[in-house]
């Protein structure tokens, strides 16, 4: 039986070369076995090169802990394992035991594509609830209930708010989104939210105009309107950016990001925020409970 060493806080680093959904679910299920253990998660999705990995190593040094990973690129994986050995960090390739067992039984070699499976459990029903909530709060609908959301996405029209919201909902997050329109200020409640994390989405003007033109064509609408006018679009984006800056909301530029990459960045921001809030709420040594 292994010797148990109590730690005040465990830093758990989760690295994936994809969106990290499988790894995140695995970690969540495992942590559920340890009650109220003090664990701070560091989520690193889309780690697809050694260069990207090198930028993460400083966080390993500052917050040593346990490293879980699902990396299929051999060079990136080798460098991660080498780094962990140098820093004396325990590290686990989360899916290796399962993949190796399957290889042995199937008589085939795995293709190095970590994947996951859906499970009819509590997490499944949480996802269903999140999807229902997100659909009911798309495009500014039912804004009175935004405080029940975990994430609120804001941005001008056609900045991928709806598809990103649905993707996040499939990951179990309750999301609301609102289009920002210069002529129609958003509800005051947007600026008073306490529980949800509000994230601003923006993009390059030229890219936004292209997307909007394609949208008009698909609807057989006029191709030249204020909706795709370069000056108007630039003003819309500037209006949104000023709002994001004034409120101190995190901003993600979706110009060159896929929906999956945007969602992964939002999830990372969300977990970092939750960790900060948990740390702020935790009584300091020597302090008296309120």
Q: Which residues contact 54 (CB under 8 A, 6 or more apart)?
A: 79
Pick 94 or 197 by higher pLDDT: 197
Nearest to 201 by CA among 236, 149, 150, 230: 236
202: pLDDT confidence band, cut at 50, 70 and 90?
very high
Mean pLDDT of 61-88: 93
Query: Helix H segments across 73-181?
Result: 74-86, 96-106, 122-136, 161-170
* Helix (H) or strand (E) run with residue 148 in it: none
Of 36-40, 44-48, 118-122, the poorest mean pLDDT is in 118-122
3-state class (DSSP) for residue 111: coil
218: pLDDT confidence band, cut at 50, 70 and 90?
confident
Of 73-77, 105-109, 210-214, 281-285, the poorest mean pLDDT is in 281-285
Of 64-68, 69-73, 150-154, 266-270, the poorest mean pLDDT is in 69-73
CB 253 within 8 A of CB 208: no
Q: Identify which of 8-22, 160-174, 212-226 has the greatest average pLDDT.
A: 160-174
What are the distances in angstroms from CA 1 to CA 4, 67, 70, 90? 9, 22, 27, 18
∠ CA(251), CA(252), CA(253), 5° rounding?
A: 125
Question: How many H helices and E strands in the chain?
Answer: 9, 8
pLDDT value, residue 122: 67
pLDDT value, residue 121: 52
What is the tens place of the pLDDT at every residue in 153-194? 999 999 999 999 999 998 899 999 999 999 999 999 999 999
CB 266 within 8 A of CB 249: no
Q: Where are the beta strands (DSSP E) in the chain?
A: 10-16, 39-44, 66-70, 91-93, 151-155, 175-179, 197-202, 251-253
- pLDDT at 115 > cutoff 50: no
- pLDDT at 113 > cutoff 70: no
* Helix (H) or strand (E) run with residue 246 in it: helix 230-247
Pick 8 or 69 by higher pLDDT: 69
pLDDT value, residue 282: 57
116: pLDDT confidence band, cut at 50, 70 and 90?
very low
Token pair listed for 213: 């033109």
pLDDT value, residue 127: 84
What is the chain's mean pLDDT, rounded?
Answer: 87
State residue 287 phi and psi, 5-degree precision. Answer: -85, 155
State residue 193 phi and psi, 5-degree precision. Answer: -65, 140
CB 61 within 8 A of CB 87: yes
Mean pLDDT of 94-100: 85
pLDDT value, residue 111: 64
Of 179-193, 218-232, 259-273, the poorest mean pLDDT is in 218-232
């Amino acid at each position: 039986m292994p010797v148990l060493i109590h730690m005040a806080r465990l830093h758990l680093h989760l690295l994936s070369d994809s969106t990290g959904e499988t790894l995140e679910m695995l970690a969540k299920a495992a942590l559920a076995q340890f009650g109220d253990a003090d664990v701070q998660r560091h989520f690193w999705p889309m780690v697809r090169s050694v260069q990207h990995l090198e930028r993460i190593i400083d966080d390993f040094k500052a917050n040593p802990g346990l490293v879980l990973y699902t990396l299929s690129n051999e060079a990136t994986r080798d460098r991660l394992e080498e780094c962990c050995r140098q820093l004396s960090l325990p590290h686990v390739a989360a899916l290796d035991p399962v993949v190796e067992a399957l290889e042995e039984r199937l008589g085939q070699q795995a293709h190095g594509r970590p994947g996951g499976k859906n499970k009819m459990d509590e997490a499944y029903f949480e996802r269903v609830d999140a999807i229902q909530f997100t659909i009911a709060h798309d495009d500014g609908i039912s804004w009175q209930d935004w405080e029940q959301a975990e994430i609120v996405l804001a941005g001008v029209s056609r900045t991928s708010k709806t598809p990103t919201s649905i993707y996040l909902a499939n990951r179990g997050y309750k999301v609301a989104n609102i289009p920002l329109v210069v002529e129609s200020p958003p509800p005051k409640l947007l600026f008073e939210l306490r529980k949800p994390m509000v994230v601003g989405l923006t993009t390059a003007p030229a890219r936004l105009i292209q997307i909007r033109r394609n949208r008009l064509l698909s609807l057989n609408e006029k191709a030249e309107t204020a909706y795709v006018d370069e000056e108007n679009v630039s003003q819309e984006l500037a209006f949104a950016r000023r709002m994001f800056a004034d409120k101190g909301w995190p901003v993600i530029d979706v110009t060159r990001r896929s929906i999956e990459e945007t969602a992964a960045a939002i999830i990372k921001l969300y977990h970092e925020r939750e960790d900060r809030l948990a740390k702020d709420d935790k009584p300091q040594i020597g302090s008296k409970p309120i």
